[in-house]
Chain A
Amino acid sequence: MSLNRLLPVLALVASLAFAVAACGSDDNESGASTGGESSAEGLSGSIRIDGSSTVLPFAEAAGELFNEENPDVKITVGSSGTGGGFEKFCAGETDISDASRPIKDDEEAPICKKNGVSYREVQVANDGIAVVTNPNLKVDCLTVDQLKKVWEPKSKVASLTDVDPSLPDAELALFGPGTDSGTFDFFTDEINGEEGASREDYQASEDDNQLVTGVEGSEGGMGYFGFSYYEQQQDKLNLVGVGESADSCVKPSKETIQDGSYSPLSRPLFMYPSAKAMARPEVKAFMDFTVENQQVIAEASQIVPLTEEQASEAKTSLGGN
């Protein structure tokens, strides 16, 4: 068949294939089951969630599990970043905002207030920042002070021996998140004392997966990023414990992040439903479901769940008074 004849046939077949796919059977299967009882059946409507990319897996899993019992509720999850999420939230465009930090009282909350968007702050999970090095650069523990010496503005530390002579002597190749990311803000705030204060000569990336590649591929690689990125690729990295002093070093894990012993690099994850959205039954049901089943959802999305105490607090802040 000549090329000329073949092309329209190709096009037709391809379009047919996709038409079938598009109109084809929906996927109704899913994996885990939830512990909680199903609330109202036959709920319909739509929910818009947007915000932090750290909370994204949690929100997605929550939506998916919620859909098992309420398949007619259409949940859209976005990932515009914590700041971007709040911007859309305070403009009234989203129902729930995901955040890896509390809403800023001086910059963001006033905008919400001005637009008449009132909300509840609900902690839904926990997260930690992992400090890692290349497997060949064996460091077990770094104190906050030592970390600060490496990462502070104008730092000239080129090898860990500059910080402590007993540490391995390899030339450091530093990797970290971009300066616009929440992880950067959080790390610099906790370690260097001021949000945004950091040495400038490190390799920055939008994509934490690439930071893993970078650290793994450089002899003296050292970096920091979200705990789940470490957890998913632990065989490639050496995890460094962090503590205020040498004997209080703790390595991040689900348990230590959850109970707060991994400090100071643990942080809470939030969802902010707007009051207007909560007036809709499907949103209320979704939030109730999420808080009730947060343990299962967190496990399904490989996020660190809440403690018992935090869970009951969440129910209170959601239930209102």
Chain B
Amino acid sequence: MAEPRLAASSGAQGVRVDLARTPTARSRFEGGIRVALFAAAALSVVVTLLIVGSLLFETIEFLGEVPVGDYLFGTKWSPTFAGEQQSFGVLPLVWGTIYLTLIALAVAVPLGLLCAVYLSEYAPTRVRKVVKPVLEVLAGVPTIVFGYFALTFFTPDVLQGALGIGVGVFNGLSAGIIMGLLVLPTIASVAEDAMSAVPASLREGAFGLGASKLQVSLRIVFPAALSGIVAALILGASRAIGETVLVLVAGGQTPNLGVNPTESYQTMAAFIAAQARGDIPTGSVEFLTIFAVGFTLFAMTLLLNALSIRLVRRYRQVYE
């Protein structure tokens, strides 16, 4: 503990204490901690730079062979077809990514948040102690299991069988919904943590004023936990955008710019994975597509995230 040097003098205004500042072992230690922590945080920037580094040069090389306009605004993606059929318009992949993510979030956000509210506000402690860990274990089911579940059960037995929807073997609807199931535990768990952390005094105050449980949940707890809930949503969306194997197995490999969910779609991440494991000679322009698409995906998520941070900062409430 720093040894404050007390120079006390009493007078008309009371006792005055001077705490002199000498650099002590303690304060040097504190300074050292700060540097160490900053270094850890800076690691993330290093990682980003490395990712950009590993993608950028090949992307530039790619753009040397394929005009930027064709790439960014072209509507046909068929890099490994021959001759005339070969086309490098990335829009179908971008759209596939966005579309499937939207379907996934349409499932995961309402279900996940409702689960979170239930666990945090309504469930008895014993139920919560069981249900929450179970949800988290489910977050660890390998994504390939979700993929095969979509392909071999959900599509034939649920979509085609029980619901009678005429979907293809590989379709966007199945991939999207099951991806929602994949992401649901993440959203539910993190949102639930945020809601549980809201101080009891807030709830009790509201109850004391005569609010119903519903009002407390929706109008007191929810806004108070908003920052954590948004973090949960962003984590969930990020996971969906980057999901590779599930789409690879269940979504098919056909880039598609349409809106029909019964057709097959391909996302950027699934394309990268397929291409990286495929039989493409190194150095060819088809091989370079891996890096170009990777870079595009990275840039896209960067923009989305910058936007969302702005939004969160504006609406975050600080309690206590």
Physical contact A–B (CB less than 8 Å): yes
Q: A188-B82, A194-B83, A217-B156 are in contact. Are A80 and B283 (CB under 8 A)?
A: no
Which stretch of B32-40, B188-196, B216-224, B246-254 is in the interface?
Answer: B246-254
CB < 8 Å: which of B82, B278, B283 contacts A181? B278
Most interface-central of A83, A184, A200 (chain B CB within 10 A): A83
Whether A260 sits at the interface, judged by CB under 8 Å, is no
B147 to nearest A CB, angstroms?
Answer: 9
Q: Give Cα A86–Cα B284 distance, bound, in whole angstroms.
A: 13
The interface residues of chain B lying within 8 Å CB-to-CB of A111 are 282-283
Q: Give Cα A284–Cα B282 distance, bound, in whole angstroms.
A: 28
Are A196 and B82 in contact (CB-based, < 8 A)? yes
Q: Give Cα A62–Cα B42 distance, bound, in whole angstroms.
A: 48
The interface residues of chain B lying within 8 Å CB-to-CB of A87 are 282
- Nearest residue (CB) in B for A215 is B169
Q: Give Cα A197–Cα B84 distance, bound, in whole angstroms.
A: 9
Q: What is the total number of residues of chain A having a CB less than 8 Å from a CB of chain B?
A: 44
Are B278 and A178 in contact (CB-based, < 8 A)? yes
Most interface-central of A90, A100, A180, A210 (chain B CB within 10 A): A180
Whether B158 sits at the interface, judged by CB under 8 Å, is no
Q: A83-B287, A196-B80, A218-B169 are in contact. Are A206 and B253 (CB under 8 A)?
A: yes
CB neighbors of B among A168-218 (8 A): 175, 178-182, 184-185, 188, 194-198, 200, 203-207, 210, 213-214, 217-218
1/0 per position for B271-298, CB-CB distance to A under 8 A? Answer: 0001111111111101100000000000
The interface residues of chain A lying within 8 Å CB-to-CB of B252 are 203-205
CB < 8 Å: which of A83, A101, A207 contacts B278? A83
Are B277 and A80 in contact (CB-based, < 8 A)? yes
The interface residues of chain B lying within 8 Å CB-to-CB of A79 are 277
Q: A203-B252, A217-B156 are in contact. Are A179 and B81 (CB under 8 A)?
A: yes
Most interface-central of B248, B253, B275 (chain A CB within 10 A): B253
B313 to nearest A CB, angstroms?
Answer: 38
Whether A81 sits at the interface, judged by CB under 8 Å, is yes
Are A84 and B277 in contact (CB-based, < 8 A)? yes
Are A108 and B279 in contact (CB-based, < 8 A)? no
Are B78 and A179 in contact (CB-based, < 8 A)? yes
Q: Give Cα A213–Cα B252 distance, bound, in whole angstroms.
A: 13
The interface residues of chain A lying within 8 Å CB-to-CB of B287 are 83
Are B151 and A107 in contact (CB-based, < 8 A)? no
- Nearest residue (CB) in A for B147 is A207
Q: Give Cα A104–Cα B129 distance, bound, in whole angstroms.
A: 59
Are A3 and B274 in contact (CB-based, < 8 A)? no
Q: Give Cα A87–Cα B281 distance, bound, in whole angstroms.
A: 8
Are B281 and A197 in contact (CB-based, < 8 A)? no
Are B253 and A81 in contact (CB-based, < 8 A)? no
Are B169 and A213 in contact (CB-based, < 8 A)? yes
Q: A108-B282, A179-B80 are in contact. Are A206 and B152 (CB under 8 A)?
A: no
Are B278 and A210 in contact (CB-based, < 8 A)? no
The interface residues of chain B lying within 8 Å CB-to-CB of A207 are 249
Q: Give Cα A205–Cα B264 distance, bound, in whole angstroms.
A: 11
Q: Give Cα A107–Cα B279 distance, bound, in whole angstroms.
A: 12
The interface residues of chain A lying within 8 Å CB-to-CB of B129 are 3-4
Whether B6 sits at the interface, judged by CB under 8 Å, is no
Whether B170 sits at the interface, judged by CB under 8 Å, is yes
CB < 8 Å: which of B84, B168, B282, B286 contacts A203? B168
Whether B54 sits at the interface, judged by CB under 8 Å, is no
Are B253 and A107 in contact (CB-based, < 8 A)? no
Q: Give Cα A153–Cα B222 distance, bound, in whole angstroms.
A: 55
CB < 8 Å: which of A86, A179, A182, A205 contacts B170? A205
The interface residues of chain A lying within 8 Å CB-to-CB of B170 are 203, 205
The interface residues of chain A lying within 8 Å CB-to-CB of B85 are 153, 196-198, 200
Q: A178-B274, A196-B82, A200-B78 are in contact. Are A83 and B253 (CB under 8 A)?
A: no
Whether A82 sits at the interface, judged by CB under 8 Å, is yes
1/0 per position for A151-175, CB-CB distance to B under 8 A? Answer: 0010000000000000000000001
The interface residues of chain A lying within 8 Å CB-to-CB of B248 are 206
Are B169 and A83 in contact (CB-based, < 8 A)? no
Whether B317 sits at the interface, judged by CB under 8 Å, is no
1/0 per position for A65-91, CB-CB distance to B under 8 A? Answer: 000000000000001111110110010
Are B81 and A82 in contact (CB-based, < 8 A)? no
Q: Give Cα A90–Cα B170 distance, bound, in whole angstroms.
A: 36
Are A3 and B253 in contact (CB-based, < 8 A)? no
CB < 8 Å: which of B81, B151, B168 contacts A198? B81
The interface residues of chain B lying within 8 Å CB-to-CB of A200 are 78, 81, 85, 254
Most interface-central of A52, A108, A204 (chain B CB within 10 A): A204
- Nearest residue (CB) in B for A100 is B279
CB < 8 Å: which of B82, B253, B282, B283 contacts A197? B82
Q: Give Cα A107–Cα B254 distance, bound, in whole angstroms.
A: 27
CB neighbors of A among B221-277 (8 A): 248-249, 252-254, 264, 274-277
Q: Give Cα A207–Cα B85 distance, bound, in whole angstroms.
A: 24
6 A–B pairs (Cβ distance < 8 Å), ordered by A? A107-B283, A196-B80, A197-B82, A203-B168, A206-B274, A207-B249
15 further interface pairs, Cβ-Cβ under 8 Å (given A181-B278, A188-B82): A3-B129, A52-B279, A84-B276, A84-B278, A104-B281, A107-B284, A153-B85, A180-B80, A180-B275, A194-B82, A204-B253, A204-B264, A206-B248, A206-B249, A213-B151
User: A-side interface residues toward B, CB under 8 Å?
Assistant: 3-4, 52, 79-84, 86-87, 90, 100-101, 104, 107-108, 111, 153, 175, 178-182, 184-185, 188, 194-198, 200, 203-207, 210, 213-214, 217-218
